[in-house]
Structure 1
Amino acid sequence: MTSPANSYSYHPETPPRPGEILKEELDAQQVSQADLARRTGLSTKHINQMIQGVAALTPDTAVLLERATGVAAETWNQLEAAWQTHQSALEDQRKLADKVGWISKFPLPFLKRVNVIEDTEPTLENLKKILAFFGVATPDVAEQAWREYRAAFRRSALVEGDGYSIATWLRLCEIRARGIKCAPYQRERLVAALPELRSLTLRTPDAWQEQLPSRCAELGIALVFIPSLKNTHLSGVTRWLAPDKVMIGLSDRFKTDDTFWFSFFHELGHVLLHGKRLTFLDHRDGSDPADEDSDDESPMLLHGDSKVPGASTQAENEADRFAQTTLIPEVKLQNFLDSFSTPTEQQIVTFARDVGVAPSIVLGRLQHEKRVPWSFGRRLKTSIRFEDVKQLP
């Protein structure tokens, strides 16, 4: 007799049909199907249907087979489960094969660059990898989830951008952020740290790109820098991952330090001023359009999350105002503007030193308010390019 211990507890790529194993076991024990029927109390027809794969091998039948053959019921159950899982996977593959064209909607070169897929071909394997990246079962499930997700934003937010590229960028932000260990968020600690965070504007990009995420993690903020993705039109995103952990994702869309810092403090405004259930996608429209990628021309309105008409616009205005006043105190700015109707570069540098921020931030504010042209003072700004995201965490 074959040992009942785990005789068939292996897991080949294509698992055997339980009926095949049952026939092998009967042959090895020199037991006929009719004899097995008598031993188990099952009909000969039912035994034959199991062997042919017409009838499933149920848990109750597995118990009977254990007594009649000596092979553990657990083994029969595992064989049946493996076979049924394999059959379900084959059926799933057949269904997915009809959906392969769906992946052409995504920024495939970007997904290849971050090692989600190995090439940009419309293959079943790539479809599976993209579904795994987003953590969804099927394209239909993904579309439904995104329809519900997009309902959280003003429709103009995604009409002006490519929804699939936006979903890709946001997902990468989320994956990165969830991998960051953060201290529990406490509002009071963040408020107290604002002057320190503001002082980092004086550091070089190499310095603050290392120091800022670490300091934010100590404050309960998972800060991630993700390169701008074509057709997303996004500068940043704020999303609460847990009651005591918030994600801020920032892109290098406009490629200058002044717009980066404004976006960062804008997102902090959302964190401090608005509810934890809200998600905000932000587009900065106050920078020189010439600084932006030439293929990123479609405007996108400021937008946030709310079911109350006009509330999202109010939230964005509040976050803008928070960033403006935190970076440059209004009274000092007004005194400066009253003194110099058209300030020189040196006067901007001196004023920035007095208030303790990078000159580019002062220049960007003046440009936004049309006190100086966009072409003025370019040397005061520092170029920002985030490192390419070469692999997922």
Structure 2
Amino acid sequence: MIEEHATANWFSKPGDSIRAIMQRREIGAHDLAQCFRDGIETVRTLLDGSRRIDEETANTLSEALGASPKFWLKRQENFEAAVHRAVIQIQESGLEDVLLRLPAPGRKAGGRLSAERRIEEIRKRLVFYNVPNAESWTARYGRLVGETDYRTSKTFVAKEDATLLWLRRGELEADMVQTRVWNAGNLLDRLEAIRKLSMIRHPEAFLPKLRTLCAEAGVALVIVKAPEGCRASGAIRMVDPDKAMLLLSFRYKRDDQFWFTVFHEMGHLVLHKADTFVDDDAVPSDADREQEANEFAAECIIPPLRESEFERVPPKRDDILRFSVSIGIGAGLTVGQMQHRGMLGPDKLNYLKRTWDWAQINPVRV
């Protein structure tokens, strides 16, 4: 028996019930996807609330997860009624424009909206952010950039709306990843295995392994391409009390930058207990934690016990390859560290770094 707990100012997506059953029965997103014609995309949109449960979908859910088709159809009906009530309350409160200013997927800036379109856009934002009103959005996301650890280029100024969209999409993707309970010690125990993955050339070979190792420590590894204007390369955020998200954009598509970002974000998780943090030079109070995360990442790449040996590595191809193999990392990461420390010119031996394009990354992002 699945119980719903409804309040006057809240709504629960049918996807919440789907996710709860999946977790209880240890059914993965890809397992459920096999039951639908559109595969993983159907599961994704059911979980985020953007796909309506019709009769065919209700029958499939009943067969795959249990409960009757009637339950799933009623679940959808109750959800739509609750969202409609929330929209009416927002209209009556005079806060329509507040909601409409929030970033949402698929909405272009500018132009007048008809009354019908305004309702549609308000509904879209409530469902996308899973909040019933403007106050709830402010409490949960109003200071999102200031409450999230993320690496971003210092060369560009990130547009806040684009970053918010990227982070929220990451949260929705993290919903699809089953993990154990978050435990920093379990992540530390897996760092050596994670380091060795840097020696694997192709994302389709190392990403599934990286995702599994992270999930065993309670971390949902997700990959979302950054929208235009978002310059972030990685982020961490606690999406549930016992589940962390490690969000990657593959912004630089180069192995030295990618793995440094992975270890940097893991540093925040381990050292700072996933406390909120913004990688911004204008926030001096966070400079120490940023430096700590950088040092953690650097030590993941070059172990402290091998530091003196690393400092003596000649800036030559064969010497770099030998040293990289001896410490169990990809040669591109060694080159990146040598360049960062001034041991090698920024234009030297870059061919030892591996580069990828989004076509190689996208097929294995889930």
| Residue type at the aligned position of 2:130 | G
Tell me the distance in 2 between the aligned counterparts of 1:96 and 1:170.
Answer: 24
Assess, with a 3 A threshold, how the Cα gap between structure 1 residues 361 and 101 changes in structure 2: closer, same or farther. same
Q: What is the correspondence of 1:11-50 to structure 2 with a 5 Å cutoff?
A: none
Q: What 5-or-longer segments of structure 2 have no aligned partner? A: 1-80
Residues 1:239 and 2:237 are matched in the alignment = yes
Q: Determine the structure 2 residue equivalent to 1:20.
A: none
Partners of 1:371 and 1:170 lie apart in 2 by 36
Determine which of 225, 228, 233 is the counterpart of 1:227.
225
Matches within 5 A, 1:37-76: none
The 5 Å alignment of 1:82-231 reads: 92=90, 102=101, 106=103, 111-112=105-106, 123-124=117-118, 125-138=120-133, 142=137, 146-152=141-147, 160-203=157-200, 204-231=202-229
Task: Name the structure 1 match of 2:9.
Answer: none
Partners of 1:372 and 1:166 in 2: CA distance: 34
Contact 2:268 2:293 in 1 (8 A): yes
The residue aligned with 2:325 is: 353
8 Å contact kept, 2:147–2:277: no
Whether the 8 Å contact between 1:227 and 1:385 is mirrored in structure 2 is: no
Change (3 A) 1:150 1:225: closer
Task: Give the aligned partner of residue 332 of structure 1.
Answer: 306
Measure, in 2, the Cα distance between the counterparts of 1:88 and 1:245: 29
Which residue matches 2:250? 252
Question: In structure 2, the residue corresponding to 1:235 is in which secondary structure?
Answer: strand
For 2:316, the aligned partner's letter is T
Matched, 1:381 2:361: no
Closer, same or farther: CA 152–211 of 1 in aligned 2, 3 Å: closer
Alignment deviations for residues 118-164 of structure 1 (CA, whole Å, 9 cap, x no partner): 9998642234313321123456764575444445479x989932111
Task: Name stretches of at least 5 consecutive residues in structure 1 with no aligned partner.
Answer: 1-82, 283-299, 304-308
**2:288 maps to which of 311, 314, 317:** 314
Amino acid at match of 1:344: K
1:361 CA drift (Å): 0.3
1:145 to 1:177, Cα distance in 2 relative to 1, 3 A:
closer
| Structure 1 residues 165 and 354: alpha-carbon distance in aligned structure 2, compared to 1, 3 A threshold | same
CA–CA separation in structure 2 for the residues paired with 1:147 and 1:88: 19
Counterpart of 2:343?
Answer: 371
For 1:271 and 1:369, the matched residues in 2 are separated by 25
Displacement of 1:384 in angstroms is 3.3
Question: Could you list the per-position Cα deviations for residues 189-244 of structure 1 after superposition, in whole angstroms to 9, with x for gaps in the alignment?
Answer: 22221111111111122211222112211221111111123322212111223343
Q: Quick one: distance in 2 between partners of 1:142 and 1:88?
A: 13
Change in Cα spacing, 1:130 to 1:389, as seen in structure 2 (3 Å) is: farther
Deviations 1:45-89 (A, max 9, x none): xxxxxxxxxxxxxxxxxxxxxxxxxxxxxxxxxxxxxx9x97985
Task: Compute the RMSD of aligned alpha carbons.
Answer: 3.9
| Residue type of the alignment partner of 1:102 | R
Structure-2-length-normalised TM-score: 0.63
Among the aligned pairs, what percent are the same residue? Answer: 26
Deviation at 1:93? 5.2
SS at match of 2:354: coil
Aligned length: 275
Q: Contact between 2:162 and 2:227, CA under 8 Å: does it hold in 1?
A: yes
Question: Quick check: 2:218–2:244 contact (8 Å CA) kept in 1?
Answer: yes
Match of 2:69 in 1: none
TM-score normalized by structure 1?
Answer: 0.59
- Partners in 2 of 1:196 and 1:225 — Cα distance? 20
* Bigger radius of gyration among the two: 1
1:302 positional shift: 8.8
| Structure 1 pair 88–374 and aligned structure 2 pair: CA distance change class (3 A) | closer
| 1:226-266 deviation line (CA, Å, top 9, x unaligned) | 11233222121112233432111111111211111111111
